[in-house]
Amino acid sequence: MPIEELIRVGKILPIMRWGEPVMHAPTRDVTDFSSSLQILLADMFATNLAAHGAGLAATQVSVDLAAFVFDCHDDEGRRRVGLVCNPTVNFAKRRRRRFVELDEGCLSLPGAFVETTRPDYAICRGQDQYGDDIEIVGSGTLARCLQHETDHLN
């Protein structure tokens, strides 16, 4: 399903709290890009939207697959909506790479915020909902989200 459809058809799932075993174990790679994955991704978009999140990892809905969805803004204020299966995050060598310390929250720890230092720029590579290779370059909140959600999966 195209992302425009995935964000319209899902149902809201319960969000796992920190401490649940699925939240503390490495995930399995996504290898099956069939309709069951499409349904999971649609449900993850609906859950993230209902929770007013920037992103949501599959582990947060009790699924041990390496996938996450995001819906947040980059440092230029552009809304970015997407997903990544089997993500890896890299940090480009930039002349002025900055580390930014901000309060960071998590849907699995409602109401908690911790000052977290992260690079202000990230490159996330993986596959889309069809299994095709993708690369997402993120800055601002999007960079932080790509890093945070990938952390959940590792």
In sequence order, the 6+-apart residues with CB closer than 8 A to the CB of 100 are: 117, 118, 119, 120, 144
- State pLDDT tens for residues 68-93: 999 999 989 999 999 999 999 987 66
Q: Are 44 and 10 in contact (CB under 8 A)?
A: yes
Say whether pLDDT at 100 is over 90.
Answer: no
pLDDT above 70: residue 94: no
Rounded distance, CA 146 to CA 50, Å?
20
Res. 101: pLDDT tops 90: no
Q: Range of 58's domain?
A: 3-153
**Distance of alpha carbon 136 from alpha carbon 30, whole angstroms:** 18
User: Which member of 5, 20, 101, 149 is catalytic?
Assistant: 149
Angle at 118 between CA 99 and CA 88, to 5 degrees: 125
- Which comes out higher in pLDDT, residue 34 or 97? 34
Task: Indicate which CATH number applies to the domain containing 69.
Answer: 3.90.45.10
Number of domains the chain contains: 1
Mean pLDDT to the nearest integer, 59-72: 97
Is 149 catalytic? The answer is: yes
Backbone angles phi, psi at 57, to 5 degrees: -95, 150
Phi, psi of 48 (to 5 degrees): -60, -45
